[in-house]
């Protein structure tokens, strides 16, 4: 059985500029097919527009509000919203209020699978 406590996982900044806390991933569990992280952005913060060649992502917004852009389409997002980001899709999220969200990647998130313009 694998259980990890949130507060025992140190936050770090990803290549796209968000601060994440790996909840279950290759760095702290015998994960094979997916990863789960908690991400935060301050009001006015945003990730750098990027894509992942291999990983499909889900975002689930816990708190805050912002604008999600996927392949040029923009939508306002807030608590309770689930977002699918297909592999290969350019994307960026901008926080209009301090934002906290869960990010699930399959296969697991890897810095090497993050590409910029």
Among 113, 112, 115, 107, which residue's Cα sits nearest to residue 26? 107
Measured over the CA atoms of residue 17, residue 18, residue 20 and residue 25, the dihedral's sign is negative
Does position 96 have pLDDT exceeding 90, yes or no?
Answer: yes
- State both tokens at 10: 């140190």
The domain made up of 11-116 has a fold known as Jelly Rolls (2.60.120)
Give pLDDT, residue 18: 85
Q: Using CA atoms, how far apart are residues 66 and 29, in angstroms rounded to an integer?
A: 31
At residue 86, what are phi and psi to the nearest 5 degrees?
A: -65, 150
Percent of the chain scored above 70 by pLDDT? 100
Does position 75 have pLDDT exceeding 90, yes or no?
Answer: yes
At residue 111, what are phi and psi to the nearest 5 degrees?
A: -55, -35
Stretch 78-83: mean pLDDT:
98
HSE value, Cβ hemisphere, 13 Å, CA-based, for 69:
14
Q: Using CA atoms, how far apart are residues 39 and 13, in angstroms rounded to an integer?
A: 9
Computed over every residue of the chain, the mean pLDDT equals: 95
Does position 93 have pLDDT exceeding 90, yes or no?
Answer: yes
Does 62 or 12 have the greater pLDDT score?
62
7 pLDDT tier (thresholds 50, 70, 90): very high
Residue 81: in which H helix or E strand, if any?
none
CA dihedral 63, 65, 68, 73 (to 10 degrees): 140
117 pLDDT tier (thresholds 50, 70, 90): confident
């Amino acid at each position: 059985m694998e259980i990890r406590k949130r507060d025992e996982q140190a936050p770090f900044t990803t290549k796209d500029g968000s601060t994440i806390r790996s909840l279950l991933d290759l760095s702290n569990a015998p994960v094979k097919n997916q990863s789960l992280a908690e991400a935060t952005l301050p009001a006015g913060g945003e990730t750098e527009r990027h894509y992942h060649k291999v990983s499909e992502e889900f975002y689930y917004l816990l708190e805050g509000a912002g604008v999600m852009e996927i392949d040029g389409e923009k939508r306002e997002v807030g608590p309770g919203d689930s977002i699918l980001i297909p592999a290969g899709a350019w994307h960026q999220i901008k926080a209009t209020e301090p934002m906290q969200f869960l990010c699930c990647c399959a296969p697991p998130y890897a810095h090497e699978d993050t590409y910029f313009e």
